[in-house]
Structure 1
């Protein structure tokens, strides 16, 4: 009984007063102290500066070989522009004004000027051409992933070779043309539109339809390239005065005709074996 009474009189210990098994050595103020340290702050600022400089250097290096900022211009298109451009590629005979519009010494975006080159149509046309080629091979029971990949890589290789040949020719002729490598890729990629039309005609109407529509598209792309490139390649000569029959001007004209005439040859070469 005395023990029970003493136990009743002993005050109960609160949870906050319970003994700790281990001493808490963690200090929540350590990160704050490190951040408050001037040396740490200086190191963090220096590291951030190095990261920004490295990002800028990498961006300049990439833009030097692949002009990413410039590529945005070639994809600035809309639905109206795409429709008008496709009509111009297939029916260029009635188009009169081929001059590219400028604003503050810079060409306007393609969606505001139908004469401006773009990369949206060439890229989409190339992909569509590969798909239509696969469809044509499938209807002939000749489809295989390897053959389709060979068709795509062959078309891409010919495009690269064509652009390199034109650039080399411009260098040899010493023409200061307002043509970049991206412009040449755009102009050379427009021929895939006519190739798609020819292949679809071959699938629907056989060889007769293929040859008829491909011939029309070949003439259309030839006229389109002549009227577009002559403003680029012959621009320097036109600025000097009336075009004469000097040897240099004749070389420029021959180069323009050669580039335009190469388009129908490649259109036929890359499609004739897909139609039976």
Structure 2
């Protein structure tokens, strides 16, 4: 009896010891004939319990198509937005036309400034055309440009600051007022010319940019007058400004005459005779306004 109780106690102890070790520690468990590869190449063979690398691979496979789709959709939106912006911007600011007006080189700038200061010996004032399109300014000195007016406007502001500084009257506020005043008068001049052309019903190929270019050429003479005043006093200022005013008057007359009177030949004799006088008066008024603005914007800079 005691032997049976002792053997039963040993058997229960052995079973409890086996349960504590667990099934994985039992070396007598038969190994599988084939490894379980359903979980992918990173599985450990323990029934596919190691799923971490598999989840990462699935996420990568799913994220690549989504990222490509998002990139394609984003590029499509960007191209559509650029197209819409270009259309709306070109409606108010013709970028393609502005490129034409800035197509200049050093040789053209030198010739154009010489023509603005000495226009008396120049004979051919017509703009050259190529396939019904005016050639770029660098190929024809008669073509209007915006490079010289823009640079002349900036240089005029700098020269005005220099003149005010030599008289101990310089301040950022005064220089800002000088720049804004010159810009406002330029806008008023262009709007007045556009209104006059509309009232006179002149059919011309002059554009608003052309008028800005022609009105901006007077800054070259203004710079010459102020520099002469700084170097030689009031006498030098008046002599240089008088020469430049006469030069810009001749330049505007000979240039605008071809632009404003270009459509006169297509009209009848009676209409052409009546409108020619109005067009000539308008041309002379535009040309005569240039010396007035030149004096008005520079006389207070020289003392």
Q: Deviations over 1:105-132 (max 9, x none)?
A: 1110000000000111001100110000
Bigger radius of gyration? 2
1:232 and 1:272 mapped to 2: Cα distance? 31
2:77 and 2:224 mapped to 1: Cα distance? 53
Normalized against structure 2, the TM-score is what?
A: 0.79
Aligned twin of 2:145? 118
Q: Deviations over 1:7-59 (max 9, x none)?
A: xxxxxxxxxx9xxxx9557524534434447xx86675455333322211110
Q: Please say if 1:214 is aligned against 2:244.
A: no
Confirm or deny: 8 A CA contact 1:100 1:107 kept in the other structure: yes
Out of 111, 126, 129, the residue aligned to residue 84 of structure 1 is 111
Out of 176, 180, 205, the residue aligned to residue 207 of structure 2 is 180
Aligned residues: 258
Aligned twin of 2:154? 127
Confirm or deny: 8 A CA contact 1:243 1:249 kept in the other structure: no
Q: Which has the higher contact order (CA 8 A, sep 6+)?
A: 1
Shift in alpha-carbon separation, 1:244–1:33, aligned structure 2, 3 A:
same
Aligned twin of 2:231? 204
Cα RMSD for the two superposed structures:
2.7
1:32 and 1:175 mapped to 2: Cα distance? 70
Shift in alpha-carbon separation, 1:100–1:257, aligned structure 2, 3 A:
same
Normalized against structure 1, the TM-score is what?
A: 0.86
Out of 32, 55, 62, the residue aligned to residue 33 of structure 1 is 62
Q: Deviations over 1:41-82 (max 9, x none)?
A: 667545533332221111010011011111011111111000
Q: Please say if 1:153 is aligned against 2:180.
A: yes
Shift in alpha-carbon separation, 1:34–1:175, aligned structure 2, 3 A:
same
Runs of 4+ in 1 over 6 A off after TM superposition: 40-43, 241-245
1:28 and 1:185 mapped to 2: Cα distance? 65
- Segments of structure 2 that go 5 or more residues without pairing to the other structure are 1-43, 45-50
Shift in alpha-carbon separation, 1:32–1:59, aligned structure 2, 3 A:
farther
